[in-house]
A and B are shown apart, each in its own frame.
Chain A
């Protein structure tokens, strides 16, 4: 028997006043430990869908359930990296990352200290631990948000174009790292990106959206084609390249271009 889905979008539609953002009805079942990537034209409603999972927005119809429980409000079990990668200007880089653990009573101070050092290291911010966010670059600020969300230790990670402002090398490193964390710590991730390469490299499953109102146009099972382990070699392989071309076709079709 297949395991019950973990995160379920059940009959979702979303309107902002008269503006239809998610077309009725959006249905999706995400398995535990699955890496889902949302791909779609700008303004199609990806962020809105994600905010609904985060509990920051309520669906106009239907409900989203996590482990059987309807989502009503934000909480630590669903961490978010926002598109506008914000950090608190009054906290240093390290304090910002540590803020992710501030309300965790299950961690001892020593444990928090160790985790802080670990995640700062992971995103390459150890040398800037005591700087204030306004003194570091945009890419670094984005990494603060990533580290904070990882430090919070949520089971579900909602990441809205988290690697957008990073240089190519850092981006590749963090993609590999994120995929490793997801496998090792059994995270369930929903990840929005405009980068087809990134989508194919990271995803178990890619959802391609139409223009607004958001409708699921295609569902591409990447896990079946590439397996769970994503390495640099894979990235240069024929298989990867073929898959990428295929997804790119879907994306072009979604944007209304003919291919």
Chain B
């Protein structure tokens, strides 16, 4: 008697969740829980953005306070409020945006040149053992040369005009990019290649329709990262040989110990980087929906 009752209760309890219609579950429970510190846990889009903003605000506040409270001499590190103010006067009176435009243009021209050359050469290096064997040592050697060390040579070869700047940026990214492209191609699964061949693709069709398409998401990521390096080399190039651009602006301000202008220049670069990266991420998400 008792045991029978227990069984039927257990059965009821068990059945209950299954018979509860979906609509009765509260909204909050259905939404996936935010997991801030679970390894690879989930975090809603809104929570992510909020976290990003809060963290950034915290850093800015700490920076502002540390100078306001006199922990750091504001002559060496101007607080954000001053930096923003300077940024504004530089935009309105000192053609900051024009200089930023010049720098951005240099970065993109040099970067485009690197990409256009690195993609076919990188693909050839990983597709044909002969090309790989021939180029790998050369690329590896040049890749390790520090770009600043080549500035004098570059000036001797190309003078102080645009060519030098483009050349230095190209030098800093092309050889890295070639190896990254070659690596991306190497990682395309052999199965994909074999599928293409067994449905009758010719080698070029396989490369175009399958191998290149398969490596595209990784390639895009690598380009996004390499673009960032371009800015590093740009500043070096503009410091040594330029009379415009952000590197020039920063370097000129340094001469008068104008730290707030230096800071404003640096912040501008950071903002350009942030913006570019966000746009590229958005494109990545749009275009590689299937990932």
A residues adjacent to B (C-beta < 8 A):
54-56, 73-76, 78-80, 82, 84, 86, 88-90, 99-104, 132-134, 148-149, 152, 154
Q: Is the CB of A102 within 8 A of B290?
A: no
**Alpha-carbon separation in the docked complex, A239 to B189 (Å):** 45
**Alpha-carbon separation in the docked complex, A74 to B197 (Å):** 6
**Alpha-carbon separation in the docked complex, A101 to B200 (Å):** 9
**Alpha-carbon separation in the docked complex, A154 to B197 (Å):** 13
For B199, list chain A residues within 8 Å (CB).
76, 79, 99-103, 148-149, 152
**Alpha-carbon separation in the docked complex, A75 to B197 (Å):** 6
Contact of A79 with B198 at beta-carbon distance under 8 Å, contacts A89-B290, A134-B290 already known: yes
Contact of A103 with B201 at beta-carbon distance under 8 Å, contacts A86-B192, A89-B290, A90-B213 already known: yes
A-B contact pairs, 15 of them (CB 8 A): A54-B194, A56-B194, A56-B198, A75-B197, A76-B200, A78-B198, A80-B195, A82-B191, A82-B194, A86-B189, A90-B214, A102-B199, A103-B200, A148-B199, A152-B199
Q: Is the CB of A76 within 8 A of B198?
A: yes
Closest A-chain residue to B290, C-beta based?
A: A132
Nearest chain B CB to A151 CB, angstrom units: 9
For B290, list chain A residues within 8 Å (CB).
89-90, 132-134
Nearest chain B CB to A166 CB, angstrom units: 19
Q: Report how many A-B pairs have Cβ atoms within 8 Å.
A: 68
Q: What 5 new A-B contacts, CB under 8 Å, besides A76-B199, A86-B195, A152-B198?
A: A73-B197, A88-B214, A100-B199, A103-B199, A103-B202
For B209, list chain A residues within 8 Å (CB).
102
For B288, list chain A residues within 8 Å (CB).
90
For A101, list chain B residues within 8 Å (CB).
199
Q: Is the CB of A84 within 8 A of B198?
A: no
For B10, list chain A residues within 8 Å (CB).
none
Nearest chain B CB to A231 CB, angstrom units: 31
Q: Is the CB of A89 within 8 A of B291?
A: yes
Nearest 7 Cβ contacts at the A-B interface: A76-B200, A74-B197, A132-B290, A103-B200, A86-B191, A80-B198, A152-B199
